[in-house]
Each structure stands twice: as structure tokens, then as C-alpha cells.
A and B are shown apart, each in its own frame.
Chain A
């Protein structure tokens, strides 16, 4: 019975997703074209990658506000590097982007796990620091399309069978980390620590490791996402991915991830990502002004949170009812 309620959350999301596609498709047929479908997929691919990392952080009852700034800093770093040293092979650039992200994420993780500073404070600070560094290393200027080689710009576009590299990487991230969270010992420990930190400590789970790991992984992923981002939009700027962290957190919340930690599924996150990605695209298609788009996005997040809360309350009620039996 309870299991059904949990399943229902994903079901509701799926139904809203399909009806959204149908309604927008009726108003603007171009929305349903294959070309637009690809655009949506590529747009949401970046969101999906970063959201998987954020999901892990939220699972341990944390939050990573530095993802937007992290994407921008890695993106700008590799773009500048590529501009000044065009000789560096692309695969080295790819590895470097992951490494930079790894370092940024590790910094967050170490502050959270070793110094036990609340994640919201740590990442609020590093969000500012990382964003500041973007302007600092670039001197406030842009790296634009003509300063990037074709190989660099085509990195996210290439692919096979009409599936872009960008989408492939996102799918790979979702699968790998989905399996990691559900089936590995460390993945389950992430759920355990998020669900009950004291109990986890008492059974000897390594809290330092489990509280560091999600930030490190989230960082490594957003590092790679940063490279793909500047390559896809063919520009690196000081305000790249500004506010992206909020969309990412929203995707997780819409996907049913509990902000208090310990619960949520990879499938839910993927649906949440698709929902936000499709809404963004749809609103543009039916020519809703950007200001209304922001308001609507806020509204969706609010509705999602209300649905989550109501569902949790309903579960709680069922539980109390059973306990009294």
C-alpha cells in the first residue's frame, strides 16, 4: 500500500509530463518536431548530469549551492586553456575539466566532512569564491566562438546514431550513478547516513567518507558539465550558468527527493529533470516572456514541494494508524 504511494509520485510526474507535451504540442506543432526534441534532450542533458550530483548531496541532507559557479569556473578555465594552448589534445581537456571539478567539489566536501560546517554555509561561500574566480582569471572578458577550435566546439555535438555526445555522457552518468546509489555498499551507506546519521555512526559507517564523497562526485560531474556547457553554447562568460544551482535543486525536489535527506530515487530525479527541461522549452515555444517563465518555474517548484509534503503527511498518517492497531 505504502509502496504504491511512493510509486505514485513517479506516476503523477509521468502523467503531468505527457499531458504537458500534448497541450504544448497542440498549441505549437513545432514543439513536437524531431529537431526540437533533440534540442530539449541536449538542453536537459546538462541539467541531468549536474542534478545526479546534486541528488547525492541532498541524500546526505546537504545542499550544493556552488554548482552554477563551479560549472562556470571549470568552463572558463578550460576555455582559456584551450584558447592560449590550442595544442592541448581535447581528451586532455576533458580530463582536466573533471580534475578541476573534482578539486572544487573536494574543497566543499572537506569543509563539510572534516570541519563539520553546514553544507549550505560552505557552498554559499564557495559559490561566491568560485564565481569571483571566473571573473578574475578571465579579466572579465568572454571566450567566444571564434576563439574555440572546431574540435572543441563539436565535442558535445558529435556522436552516433543521431545521439549527441552530450546526451550520451548524461545517460552514462545517470546509469553509473543510479547503479552506484542503488546497488553498491557505499551507495547504500549514503542513504543510511542521510536517513539517520547517529545510527550510521553507531554501526561504524565511515561518516567522514560518506559526507565527503557526494560533494566530490558532484564536483567531478559539474566539472565535465562545465566543459560541455561552454562548448555547446560556444561561449564562456563571467555569468555562465548563473542561477543554475536553483534549477538543479528544483529538478531534484520536483523528482521527489526529500530535502531532509535519506530518500529519493534516480528515476525520480530523471523525471524531474525532464519535467523542468520540457517546461522551459515549451514556454519558449509558446512565446511566454522570460519573466513569466521565471514565475512559472517558481510556481512549479512550489507545487512540487506541496505535493511532496502532502504525500509525506499521508504516509505519516497511515503509519500512525497502523501503529495504533
Chain B
């Protein structure tokens, strides 16, 4: 309850509430390129954290470290205060971290049901997929999230961009992640589809998960997030509580003119 009050009061970085996820002094090099240099990140329970920065600032690299796609060259990762290693995407999923990638992690030629259960199907007799149960669960999930998709048996390549995004985000929520990471969730979406996706992001928080969202669109960021971390050139250059900052300040942090 104390945590909740803190949340409502607008948490600041020095608050005593313990982060659910914390990264300290993360460095990542690709050959001679320093993609991340001594970057820290803390994510609190029930929080929507925005990660912003120009192209090449290191946002995607940072979330891919949390998602287990990359291993950091230096630094430590703590979950609920305990040091952990996230060695693979599977390990990240097992920690109940769900990631929705920019390049839409859906398989176009497979249908809605198979995409929802991609990589972890319900099975029967150990080796066989339990299609019937997966269909039933999919209907449930989509209903719960108010996502309307005409046919579950259609390859997802036949869906609209918004439906696909909703599906990708919905999949992350359906797996009831403690932490949901969204990489550019509103890129290439129409006005109405963007509105729905932003509503879906708020819904994740209501379900009791924390969210890290990357976006270039600061208006969207200011609409959904609680706190904003700014990266520039692979370094963290600032962290602001949304209610205590404005778009101008964030732009200046991103471009380095502050």
C-alpha cells in the first residue's frame, strides 16, 4: 500500500520503493562501436517507463539485453534486488519478461492462434499441439483485451497493421508478463490504431505489470508513460518524472542542447 501511495504521489528516482528490475553500469560493444557505455536503468512495479533517444542512441540494444537477445559486456542486471543473468530469449521469458519487437515478431504465414502460442504451444501427449485448447484460449484472450480479429484461422499476413500490432501486444499481455517491453509499438499505425494501441499499453499497467516502451513519438510517450529515461550516444543523459517535465526539455536532452 505504501508503494501505491508513492506511485500516486509521483515517484522520484530516489524513492525507497524497490525496483522490480535494475540494470547497473551496462556496457555493450559491437566490434569498435560502443553501443552502450555505463548505462543504468531502473523499473519500478506498476510503472510505464519510456526509453527515448535518437537513432543509434542504444535504446534497442538496451532492451535486447533485457530480452536476452544480447549479453552485456559489462554491468549487472538485478531482478527484485537479486543479481541475475539473462542468457537467452527463453530465459527472459521464463522470468516473465515479454518483449514486443519493432520488427513485429509474428510469423506471417501462420494463423492467429499459432502466433499467440508461438514458441510455447499448449501440448497433449507431450509432442502434439493441442489445437482445440489453443483456439479456445485465443478466443478468451482476444475477448478480454477487446481485440477484434475477423478470423483466427487466417494467416496473420492478411490482417491490418493495427490488428497485427494488437496481436503482438496482446500476446505479451496474455502471457501475463511481470514486465512488458514494447519497441516502437505505434510505428506505422493509423490514427485510430494508434489510439487503440496506447489504450492497450495502459491496460497492461492495470493488469499489474510494468512496461518499458520505446518510441520516437514524444506525444505518445507523454500520453502513456510515468517516467522517461533519455539515452544519447550510448549513454544515459537523464531521467525525468513525466509530470515534472515537458516535451521541450526531453527534446533538448535527446539532441544534447541542454
Contacts and interface: CB of A to CB of B under 8 A. Distances in A.
Asked if A and B bind, the verdict is yes
Contact of B160 (A3, A185, A323): A323
Interface stretch (B46-54, B100-108, B240-248): B100-108
Majority DSSP secondary structure for residues of A touching B: helix
B153 A3 contact: yes
B51 to A, nearest CB: 18
Interface string B108-134: 111000100011110100011101000
Given A183-B129, A188-B114, A199 B89 contact: no
Interface in A39-58: none
Contact of A202 (B67, B123, B131, B160): B67
A262 interface: yes
Interface residues of A, number: 27
A184 B122 CA distance: 11
A319 B156 CA distance: 10
A149 interface: no
The listed residue with most A CB atoms (<10 A of its CB), out of B119, B123, B154, B157, is B119
Interface in B136-180: 153-155, 157-158, 160-161
A113 interface: no
A18 interface: no
Interface residues of B, number: 33
A183 B122 CA distance: 12
Majority DSSP secondary structure for residues of B touching A: loop
A275 interface: no
Contacts, number: 86
B157 A319 contact: yes
A188 B108 contact: no
B135 interface: no
B109 A204 contact: no
Contacts of B158: 2, 318-319, 322
A192 B90 CA distance: 16
Interface in B33-85: 67, 69
B123 to A, nearest CB: 6
B118 A203 contact: yes
A301 interface: no
A195 interface: yes
Contact of A2 (B67, B104, B154, B160): B154
A144 interface: no
Closest 4 CB pairs of A and B: A203-B119, A204-B90, A195-B107, A199-B105
16 contacts: A185-B127, A185-B128, A188-B110, A188-B121, A188-B129, A192-B114, A196-B105, A199-B105, A202-B69, A202-B101, A202-B105, A203-B118, A205-B119, A263-B109, A318-B158, A322-B160
Given A185-B121, A199-B118, A200-B118, 12 more contacts: A2-B154, A3-B154, A189-B119, A192-B107, A192-B114, A192-B119, A198-B101, A199-B106, A202-B67, A203-B120, A204-B93, A325-B160
